[in-house]
Chains A and B, each alone.
Chain A
Amino acid sequence: MSTSQGWDADRGLARIQELERLPGALLPILHALQDEFGYVDKAAIPLVASALNLSHAEVHGVVSFYHDFRHDPAGRHVLKLCRAEACQSMGCEKMIRHVENRLGVKLGATTEDRSFTVEAVYCLGNCALSPAVMLDGKLYGRVSSDVADFLIDDAKRHS
């Protein structure tokens, strides 16, 4: 999902210019930058600020407010694990601990080999098929520890 090719000012500026005229353009721009680079690079902040006539602090404040925007490149695969109530009622905490142990990282971190970023998420809207996870933007339901293992193995094979 995340390309993580590293920041490139020209490509970044091009994405900013495509969207800067939208009313309330900041979130669409930040999403576009994250889509392009896998995260929002610090170097993008002054460019965005100048395009939208905002202060650096205002832009930084928005980037840091929202859980979605990453400050560093993500791993090759992003695994979001739901830990909201419906998934808890079906034992997601146990599955999450299993995934953390398996990959050797806590929620919110990226594995050393940069293959996986594991994140907590609060509800993926799949609450009748709990526990739910999202791997690289794709939703999965009834994810036991075994299914999680299968998803991880499968992603590893395809990267």
Chain B
Amino acid sequence: MTTKTRYFVVISLLVLGVGFGTGLVAYYVGFPAGAFASRGGPADLGFVPRNASVIAFANVHEIMTSELRQKMRRAIPIQENGQQELQEQTGINLETDIDTIVACMSPDVATSKGAGMVLARGRFDETKIEALMREHGAHVETYNGKRLVVADPKDFVDKDATGDVTAHPHSSLSLSFMEPGLAAIGSTALIKSAIDLHKSGNNPQAGLESVTGNDELMNLVRSMDSANAWAVGSGTARELTPRKPCFEPPSAATFDAAAHAIEAGMTTVVPRIASDVTMPSASPDESSSAPPFSAPCGDC
């Protein structure tokens, strides 16, 4: 074998070896979110778990500085006391301090209720926010090397007129600053999952995968193009609503709903509302095909 041939064989085997090695690492360990990627949608989707049934995104900075909002403020002057109060308590100025928000909702199998999470990018006074939560009874934990400010269900209490204290059946709520300028707040289980994804990236082998691996939702996300705010969802009615709906659509077929409604002229000025709903493909189950005459919950 000549030297030239030997070099060729070595280079060829090297390409194969590196490729195989990289593939094996990706398969067993996973890559940090963003490696090799151009998935469409904001980068923070890499921290949203795969089983999310609804994802929403808002480019708060663009919305706040949009011409539409300026016109609305001039047309409908609103007392922005809430915004002022938020700034005083947390140090967050909604006008300038938040860049983007990614929110998600996913079915919580354990409690059969929806679990939610909000990932906010911007400039935060971490100490002030953490202190505020601790003042309200939250405690600090460490999870996977990140500080987690946890407010347990017992912290959510209501006092009625007689002074009796009743606990709300909420799941525990947590806050974590996963990296400088990225705050995650929401259900503790989802925050922990986001921290895992932030640390290890996608690792389907270990059952850890972000929503970027969910082709169904990601195709909807990519279809949003350059909208500054959007929401997409996919799943059954039970998954899409945090509470058990009064009327569940017949059959177990899933439906998708991609709402472009929030694109409403934030940057395009012309409002656009569109909603695609795929109706159940399976034949309805007769026993549950008709809605009840009166809603069992009494709300609707």
Whether chain B is bound by chain A comes out as no
- Residues of A in contact with B (beta carbons under 8 Å apart): none
